[in-house]
């Protein structure tokens, strides 16, 4: 593999350094005896996958500072595509190849479809009500079945009506503002809120957007802490009373604000139920059939569908714009294909995609080039498993090193370059699964792909994407300046959108003025018939 040019700083020690030293002392005292006993006196028939030698108590924590992807690349070269780490009391299994991920997480999905115990994000923030974070079991299966029923192929076809409307507003907004990040955020949130609650968000200034930002930030911060916070590294600390465990109050306050917001949206949807179909209505009816459920459970299931869509859609669209800015020949080739199929008298439509192989390849390359979830979502297993002569222990955190998979030069020549043609030259190219694996695969995959196609193709049809020039100086955009939390997205950058011709400007204005803006009528179109 080539040396990674990424500039993703991610310090696994950051939170530890800011925690009260009392917790580290407690961890040392409580865990030392357990660690010595476990590793000196208990034997195992099979070894863990190879990996760097851990220290007592802290494990490999001291080696996880700085850029994790550079560390993983170095370790995969030394230990192979399947390796193990120890962070505090937790065992982490890191998968570094598509083949192994497919073997374990797809072919053996029944064994690897649970989630590891997530004390902060799941227990303290979501109170074990978030479908995305639930362990496997009947409750999770019920929730997933409900979500899949609302995102199946027939539903995705109906949902295209909302995507058509919201993407028209994106293209129109760029006529007067080049703040594409805010426009993409509004698009993703309005799409989700229209379907979920019957609330269309026609402006980035809507209060629902700022509050949803807070909810998503809480979730991402909680997930980021899975290999950082003391309570995740040393789960015994979760049994400490609140007066010496301040994180409990901190996350309780964030749970309270989150559930208040989700319940508020649910109540609004209920007030419209007699006249409007919504996801909230569907979820309520489906859960009622399973027995008595609380309002909080309904609110969280609907909210989970929104949280998952907003952050990944926004980040991936920003990545697409950066690629099209930096690789102008790619943008021109895509525009040529769009012009050949669509012409200049109308916007691209969903039915155009099968005739646009280059646009399809471009979307695949966006998902590969700078993946929005570079380490995937953590999996786990209920029981000890064996693979390739190694032991995968029960409860281990199983990470997928997507970043390493997509930048493996043996599979993707010139992996750090944005080259859609690689997908045309090798249609069977299997690098990674950007929407996850097995039973935990994102049920919103096709809705997500549809959003990428309709927004990107319409922007390319309407605009030339140029660097910003200020005071005679071209504003530089760093290709690998990426912000990493739990998800990844380009650091803020500027772009100039130039309307390709006046005829297209007229069509943009006409389409925006003529599109349906009444939410009740929109929902009538997407409701199951």
pLDDT tens digits, 148-181: 999 999 999 999 999 999 999 999 999 999 999 9
Share of the chain above pLDDT 90, in %: 78
Helix or strand (DSSP H, E) at 90: strand 90-95
Q: What is the mean pLDDT of the chain?
A: 90
**pLDDT of the residue at 343:** 98
In this prediction, residues 410-421 reach a mean pLDDT of 96
Residue 397 bridge partners (DSSP) = 92
Looking at residue 225, its pLDDT comes to: 65
pLDDT at 72: 93
CATH 1.10.630.10 fits 14-526, yes or no: yes
Please report, in range form, the residues annotated as the binding site.
Answer: 442
Which of 16-20, 295-299, 457-461, 474-478 is the least confident region?
Answer: 16-20
pLDDT at position 25 over 50:
no
pTM over 0.85: yes
Contacts of 445 (CB under 8 A, 6+ apart): 435
pLDDT tens by residue, 114-152: 999 999 999 999 999 999 999 999 999 999 999 999 999
Cα dihedral 375, 379, 384, 389 in deg (nearest 10): -40
Q: Are 449 and 359 in contact (CB under 8 A)?
A: no
List phi, psi (to 5°) of 410.
-70, -25
| Mean pLDDT confidence for 63-86 | 91
Contacts of 332 (CB under 8 A, 6+ apart): none
Q: How confident is the model at residue 274 (pLDDT cuts 50, 70, 90)?
A: low
State how far the Cα of 443 lies from the Cα of 38, in Å rounded to an integer: 39
Q: What is the DSSP letter of 169?
A: H
481-496 pLDDT, tens digit per residue, is: 999 877 899 999 999 9
| Strand ranges of the sheet holding 82-87, from the earlier edge strand across to the other edge | 82-87, 90-95, 397-400
Contact by Cβ (8 Å): 492, 481? no
Residue 43: the pLDDT is 46
Query: What is the mean predicted confidence (pLDDT) over 505-514?
Result: 98
The sign one gets for the Cα dihedral 58, 3, 431, 181 is positive
Return binding residues for heme.
442
Q: Could you give the CA distance from residue 339 to residue 355 in angstroms, rounded to a whole number?
A: 12
- Strand intervals (E) in 250-291: none
């Amino acid at each position: 593999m080539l040396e990674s040019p990424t500039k993703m700083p991610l310090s696994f020690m950051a939170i530890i350094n800011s925690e009260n030293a009392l917790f580290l002392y407690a961890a040392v005292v409580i865990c030392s005896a357990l660690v010595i006993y476990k590793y000196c006196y208990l034997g195992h028939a099979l070894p863990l996958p190879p990996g760097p030698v851990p220290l007592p108590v802290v494990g490999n924590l001291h080696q996880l500072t700085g850029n994790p992807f550079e560390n993983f690349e170095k370790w995969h070269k030394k230990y192979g595509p399947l390796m193990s780490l120890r962070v505090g009391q937790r065992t982490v299994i890191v998968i570094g190849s598509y083949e192994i991920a497919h073997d374990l997480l797809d072919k053996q999905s029944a064994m690897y479809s649970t989630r590891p115990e997530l004390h902060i994000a799941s227990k303290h923030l979501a109170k074990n009500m978030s479908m995305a974070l639930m362990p496997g079991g009947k409750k999770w299966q019920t929730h997933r079945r409900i979500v899949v029923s609302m995102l199946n192929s027939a539903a995705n076809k109906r949902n295209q009506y909302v995507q058509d409307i919201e993407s028209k507003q994106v293209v129109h907004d760029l006529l007067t503002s080049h703040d594409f990040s805010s426009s993409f955020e509004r698009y993703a949130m309005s799409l989700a809120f229209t379907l979920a609650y019957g609330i269309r968000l026609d402006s980035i200034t809507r209060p629902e957007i700022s509050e949803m930002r807070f909810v998503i930030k809480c979730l991402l911060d909680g997930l980021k802490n899975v290999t950082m916070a003391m309570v995740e590294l040393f789960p015994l600390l979760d049994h400490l009373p609140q007066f010496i465990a301040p994180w409990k109050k901190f996350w309780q306050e964030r749970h309270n604000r989150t559930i208040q917001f989700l319940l508020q949206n649910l109540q609004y949807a209920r007030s419209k139920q007699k006249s409007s179909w919504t996801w909230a209505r569907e979820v309520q009816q489906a859960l009622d059939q399973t027995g008595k459920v609380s309002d909080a459970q309904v609110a969280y299931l609907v909210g989970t569908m929104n949280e998952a869509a907003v952050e990944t859609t926004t980040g991936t669209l920003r990545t697409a714009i950066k690629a099209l800015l930096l690789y102008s020949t790619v943008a021109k080739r895509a525009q040529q294909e769009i012009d050949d199929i669509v012409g200049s008298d109308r916007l691209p439509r969903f039915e155009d995609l099968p005739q646009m192989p280059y646009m399809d390849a471009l979307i695949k390359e966006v998902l590969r080039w700078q993946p929005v979830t570079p380490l995937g979502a953590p999996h786990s297993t209920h029981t000890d498993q064996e693979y390739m002569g190694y032991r995968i222990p029960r409860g281990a955190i199983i990470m997928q090193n997507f970043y390493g998979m997509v930048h493996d030069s043996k599979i993707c020549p010139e992996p750090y370059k944005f080259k859609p043609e690689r997908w045309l030259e090798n249609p069977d190219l299997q690098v990674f699964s950007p929407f996850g694996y097995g039973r935990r695969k994102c049920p919103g995959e096709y809705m997500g792909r549809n959003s990428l196609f309709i927004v990107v193709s319409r922007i390319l049809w309407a605009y030339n994407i140029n660097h910003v020039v200020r005071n005679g100086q071209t504003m530089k955009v760093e290709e690998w300046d990426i912000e990493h939390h739990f998800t990844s997205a380009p650091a803020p950058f500027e772009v100039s959108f130039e309307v390709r011709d006046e005829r297209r400007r007229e069509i943009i204005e006409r389409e925006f003025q003529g599109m349906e803006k009444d939410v009740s009528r929109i929902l009538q179109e997407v409701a199951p018939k």
